[in-house]
Amino acid sequence: MGSGVIHMFRIPVRRSLLLVSVLALLFSVREAVAVEARQAGLPGAPAFSATGIDGKTVSSRQLAGKAYIVNFFASWCPPCRAEIPDMVALQKAYKVKGFTFIGVAMSDEENTVRSFMKSSGINYPVLMGNQQIVSSFGRYVEGGMRSIPTTFVVNRSGQITQVISGARGKAVFEKIILDALTPAKPAR
């Protein structure tokens, strides 16, 4: 029974992996096309200022000229927890190039977030979510923000280039970061 059972599942697993790979490729192409289609009329990122968990102020004014990703998350959210190690690694790699993640903790107590940041090794600013910041960014989501993680990508020109609902992996985030760091092309 041992090897026969393994062999019996080998083909469906391979087909499943192939299907997942094809879907990931199609998703990446769709995302790239959507970004290019919006280049002409990208909305400006909302102005914000808040005190981070570490006691330092984080504001859109400080981020002017930098690419950044605002990620709404919660310490208890499994998809949020799954993408954070990749975000930590990418923060380490791209901070010197003028990029940062900004975490916005939702539906959490500050002490819980502080503990989660320490245990997860979060190396980027984290703010406590409040109605003002949720409303400011939520207007860019049809129907408002209703799920986490929700991620907003802001390029060096201060424009929102993508709004992403759901978790993403390291390769997708890295492509997004590289695109956000690329200077905007002048309009023709």
Residues 21, 53: Cα–Cα separation, whole Å: 38
Cβ partners under 8 Å of residue 68, min gap 6: 99, 100, 101, 102, 154, 180
For residue 115, give both structure tokens: 């503990």
Work out the number of other CB atoms within 10 angstroms of the CB of residue 180: 23
- pLDDT at 137 (0 to 100): 95
Is the pTM of the predicted complex or chain greater than 0.95? no
Angle between the N-to-C axes of helices 2-38 and 170-181, in degrees from 0 to 180, rounded to the nearest 10: 20
Residue found under tokens 């802001």: 154
Q: Give kind and range of the element (H or E) at residue 96.
A: none
Residues 20, 14: Cα–Cα separation, whole Å: 10
Contact 93, 181 (CB under 8 A): no
Residue found under tokens 């059972």: 5
User: What end-to-end distance do the CA atoms of the chain give, in Å?
Assistant: 66
Which residue in 64, 87, 49 sits closest to 158, CA to CA? 64
In a structure prediction context, what are the per-residue pLDDT tens digits for the chain, which is 188 residues long?
444 444 444 444 444 444 444 344 434 433 433 344 344 467 999 999 999 999 999 999 999 999 999 999 999 999 999 999 999 999 999 999 999 999 999 999 999 999 999 999 999 999 999 989 999 999 999 888 889 999 999 999 999 999 999 999 999 999 999 999 987 665 55
